[in-house]
Amino acid sequence: FHTVRAVLPTMLAQGSGHIVTVSSVYGRKGSPGFAAYCASKYAVIGFSESLALEVKPHGVKITVVEPGTVDTGFRDGMTNRPKVGLLAQPEKMLTPDDVASTIVWALSYSPTAVPDEIRLDTARW
């Protein structure tokens, strides 16, 4: 929010720009014991979708990236919680580089098109 607030006036003044926000697939589904986390990620999605509608007429693009499980160490200190939902250990996890590469791709995708929502997860086959 604060970063968007800092850069948006310049983008609006120049009539162009591209903002990428990062949420989570857990902004679209729940997880036991993580109601606040899931709600905060949905807030990012709702903010991004609303902002996109506001700034599109001014030439500013908004993309929200929703990664699945990323190997960041998020779960490492949560040893006393049940291993369900967010804490379940998936077979494969995304890397931070996977997310970064997706953001770079979104920013370089097309001068006229915008990938407004990217759900990113590991292959399931």
Give CA torsion, residues 54, 56, 61, 67, to 10 deg: 50
Handedness of CA 47, 50, 55, 59 (dihedral sign): positive
Dist CA 21 CA 103 (whole Å): 9
60-67: strand order across its sheet: 17-22, 60-67, 117-120
Contact status, residue 109 vs residue 115, Cβ threshold 8 Å: yes
Report, as residue numbers or ranges, the catalytic residues.
37
Contact status, residue 20 vs residue 116, Cβ threshold 8 Å: no
